Amino acid sequence: MRAARASLRNACSRLTPPRQHSCLFHPLEPLTPHAKFKVAVDDSFDPSAFLVAGVFAGMSLAQRQYPGFGYGASALGKYYGAAFADQAIGNMMTESLFPIALHQDPRYFVKSKGGFWNRTGYAISREVITRADDGRNHFNTSELVGNAVAAGISNVYYPASGRSYGNTADKWGQQIGFDAFFNIMKEFWPDVRVKLFGQ
């Protein structure tokens, strides 16, 4: 039983990587450009990234989002590759390239205080507000513009029939929505971990 709980704890921890769990109220040194690049690479190749890409690929295949990818196992491979590329390129843009250029911090800072709705609102707001390397709040250009650039790049490897301004805008909006959802997970995971595992 203890081994099973440890396994579950490790699996859940991978969904919300510890490096993203910095406390809002603790002063931290700004990340170096190398450290920001490492955050993006770690998030892109974390074991959970392969799982999430598989879930998104399966959903897209089930909905036949891109008929140009075909059907069957080969289509699943194309959907999987595209979903994984979406995540990796998005991570590189929003956690490395733009944060380095704009001196913004790609980490999520847990609020940890306040009620459920207050903390949920805070987590969602991090899509438009982020901490800069100087410790002050800035408009989150890295997240919003970085994901827009990633959505534009994705047109290179999706079928021609799916390349349109509307589809690109949809991908951008979906990525912002997913990132907001994962922010909420990051915000409350420390509480869940304490309740489930006592740490």
Give per-residue pLDDT as tens, 37-92: 999 999 999 999 999 999 999 999 998 889 999 988 899 999 999 999 999 999 99
* Res 123 pLDDT > 80: yes
pLDDT score recorded for residue 97:
98
Q: Map tokens 């380095």 to a residue.
A: 100
* Res 21 pLDDT > 80: no
Compute the distance between CA of residue 100 and CA of residue 109 in angstroms, rounded to an integer. 18
Average pLDDT over residues 6-32: 53
Q: Which of 35, 29, 9, 38 is nearest to 131 (CA)?
A: 29
Average pLDDT over residues 173-178: 94
* Res 160 pLDDT > 50: yes
For the chain, give the longest Cα–Cα distance.
Answer: 51
pLDDT score recorded for residue 2:
38
With residue 137 as reference, give the H or E element that holds it: strand 137-139
Residue spans of the domains in the chain: they are 31-197
195, amino acid identity: K
The neighbouring-strand residues paired with 23 are 110
Count CB neighbours of 45 within 10 A.
13
Q: Which of 63, 101, 99, 59 is nearest to 80 (CA)?
A: 59
**18-27, 111-120, 122-131, range with the lowest pLDDT:** 18-27
pLDDT score recorded for residue 88:
96
User: Measured between alpha carbons, how far is residue 38 from residues 68, 92, 117, 169, 171 in Å?
Assistant: 35, 10, 32, 28, 25
pLDDT score recorded for residue 132:
95
pLDDT score recorded for residue 195:
84
